[in-house]
Structure 1
Amino acid sequence: MTFVVPFDGSELAEAALVRAVEFATALEEEVTAVTVVPERNRYAREKGWIEEGESYDIDEVIETLRTQVNDLAPEATFDVERIREFPPEAQIAERIERLVREHDPSLVFLGSENVGRVVTPLTSVGVHVAGDRSYDVYVVRQPHPLAVDAIESHADFYPEDAP
């Protein structure tokens, strides 16, 4: 069994990764973070990987994401797919879903503010990943820790003012 986390470096992706590690530790499972990095400046700016006007070094972004995963979850594996073409965002979401499925997950931890809402953008990664019925999905909507006694919280990750 593997817990898979689509990871883009955002606050909720970080929280989902930490949450996956907390559950994996309790259940003695493996964790894999997956990332798709397209060669699109606009996409990189939208994800906060680069600032407006900054040059886009894809290898540097991948290494930054790898380091982020390693810092949060040293025991997790990191799998990245670099996309050379410039697909629309819906195709990027489909690539992430395919990469998730390649790891045959038993559970996917998804950091998302909008999965499950009545109106969801069609390009949302969450829509694609959460729609697959071959695995369960744990949606992380808040970056603060769980209130589950059996799960050991990674207190050093969470802000001190978290509930």
Structure 2
Amino acid sequence: MTLLVPFDGSALAETALKRAAEFGDAFGKTVVVLVVIPDDETYAEERGWTDGGSFDAEAFTETLRTRVEAIAPEATFRVEHARDPEDEPYSSVTMNIVRTVRKVAAEVDADIVFIGSENAGRVSQPLTSVGAPVSADPQYDVHIVRHAK
């Protein structure tokens, strides 16, 4: 059994990682942490991933790797880049991230995806949430973390 945790460094993602690591330890399951890097600097800037300048994906990735190692040292760390698919040139950054998470979930044969999201599962879904579309996939169970504790 594989547990997948999309990780963006937010407090909710950290809580999701902690819960996945606890679950993995308790049941002897593999935890895969997925960082998805968008190709859109505006998206990164809106989330506070820049220092006022341009988005440095490498530095951002290493910062997240350090945080993941501190929380779940046994977890496998994986980085993917979200890109517009050739057959959908007008795709949103959020949907590209969702596609990437779903692709990796299938590749690692995830049984449970642990998502830190304030918006997943609500009736009204903001366009920038990856939680709701990822949680809609019936190929895996989903553990949604709505409160950072």
TM-score per shorter chain, which class? 0.7 to 0.9
Shift of 1:84: 6.1
- Distance change (3 Å), C-alpha of 1:122 and 1:57: closer
Choose from 142, 147, 155 the match for 2:147.
Answer: 142
The one-letter amino acid paired with 1:141 is R
Show the counterpart of 2:55: 56
Q: Which runs of 5+ in 2 are unaligned?
A: none
Please give the secondary structure, in 1, of the residue aligned with 2:78: strand
Show the counterpart of 2:81: 82
Contact 2:113-2:140 within 8 A present in 1 as well: yes
Contact 2:83-2:96 within 8 A present in 1 as well: no
Please give the secondary structure, in 2, of the residue aligned with 1:143: coil
What are the Cα deviations for residues 34-64 of structure 1, in whole angstroms up to 9, with x where unaligned?
111023211111222114x322211111111
The 2-side partners of 1:142 and 1:31 are apart by 21
- Distance change (3 Å), C-alpha of 1:140 and 1:84: closer
Q: Which runs of 5+ in 1 are unaligned?
A: 145-163
TM-score normalised by L of structure 2: 0.87
The 2-side partners of 1:100 and 1:68 are apart by 22
Number of residue equivalences: 143
The one-letter amino acid paired with 2:148 is P
Choose from 103, 112, 119 the match for 1:114.
Answer: 119
Show the counterpart of 1:15: 15
Worse-superposed segment, 12-21 or 59-68: 59-68
The 2-side partners of 1:100 and 1:128 are apart by 13
Please give the secondary structure, in 2, of the residue aligned with 1:106: strand
Worse-superposed segment, 20-29 or 53-62: 53-62
Shift of 1:123: 4.2
